[in-house]
Amino acid sequence: MPNESEGTLCLGAKEGALAKLATRLSQIASRLAGVPLGAELEDIAQELRHESGAFADGTYDDLVKTVARLREEREELRHAFSKSLNAAVQRESTMAEQCDKLRQDTDNRIREELSFALREEAEAARQARAPLVAENRALKHELATEQCTVVALRAQIALRGSRKSSDLSMDSNPRSGRGGTASRTSEGHVKRLSNGLFGGAGDGARRAPDFVRRDFVPTSDTPQPWRLEAKALASSSQSKRPSQELEVPHRTASAPSIC
């Protein structure tokens, strides 16, 4: 190897330099033999000879070989570390892809479970609401029927009141046709009102909420012919014939005839 040859040359040069340096120190020590400094220089010369002998024994060659081997091992370790690093990077990328896939699968599964739970909850809510809706519809129909019955009863009461007022008018004024005309007019008006309100099938059930607020009983502010009928009803309430008192028909018997 080039490094070993260079090391051998360097070793020879260092060995020669140490030998020369030891020789010079020996000469200086011989000149200064009687001085303590000469003894110290002699010791240094002996150490230099020992070091030059160690180089001659091949210690430096062993060191050079050891350094070369360590360099080779370092390169091998560097190569192995590079391979391990690349493998770790690849493994990290693979694990990242797997993690993303698992996250997407988990999100999709959560969405499916949530959607299924919402559908079940909505279906349960519809099933629980169905009886309530049916009951509400039945109650509305019943309310419409009751309103229709109430309006029919009011119309019958007004009709009977008009008949009674016409009878009282004919009894009090037998030669005057005014009472009979008013009675016939009021009776015809009530009949037209009843026929117009309840002539169509199901019309009362559809329009019942509007008729609840209508009062067909005449008042003092009601125009003709209701004003005459109101006076007749007031006079009939004070009459001495109890057999002609107003009789209110039963609701269940009168409701089917008009509604």
DSSP classification of residue 243: G
Residues 251 and 144 in one domain: yes
Residue 59 pLDDT level (bands cut at 50, 70, 90): low
Backbone region of residue 62 per phi and psi (left: phi > 0; alpha: psi in -120 to 50; beta: other values): alpha
Residues 219 and 141 in one domain: yes
Residues 251 and 140 in one domain: yes
Confidence (pLDDT) at 14: 61
Between CA 130 and CA 138 the distance in angstroms is 12
Residues 80 and 142 in one domain: no
> What predicted TM-score, i.e. pTM, was given to this entire model?
0.32
Number of domains, the chain: 2
Which string of DSSP letters, residue by residue, matches 14-64?
Answer: HHHHHHHHHHHHHHHHHHTTTSHHHHHHHHHHHHHHHHHHHHHTTHHHHHH
Average pLDDT over the chain, rounded to an integer:
69
Residues 68 and 159 in one domain: no
Confidence (pLDDT) at 53: 65
pLDDT at 216 over 70: no
pLDDT at 252 over 80: no
DSSP classification of residue 200: S
Would you tell me the crossing angle of helices 226-237 and 178-198 to the nearest 10 degrees? 110
Confirm whether 124 is domain-assigned.
no
* Nearest in space to 225 (alpha carbons), one of 192, 190, 186: 186
Confirm whether 235 is domain-assigned.
yes
Residues 226 and 161 in one domain: yes
Q: What tens digit of pLDDT does each residue of 198-209 get? A: 444 444 444 444
Residues 87 and 141 in one domain: no
pLDDT at 103 over 70: yes
Confidence (pLDDT) at 234: 55
Confirm whether 121 is domain-assigned.
no
Residues of the domain holding 243: 136-258
Confidence (pLDDT) at 144: 93
Confidence (pLDDT) at 36: 66
Q: What is the number of helices (H) and of strands (E) in the chain? A: 7, 0
Q: What tens digit of pLDDT does each residue of 232-246 get? A: 555 655 554 444 444
Residues 247 and 140 in one domain: yes
Residues 81 and 173 in one domain: no
Confirm whether 126 is domain-assigned.
no
Q: Look at the chain and count its residues.
A: 259
Between CA 188 and CA 178 the distance in angstroms is 15
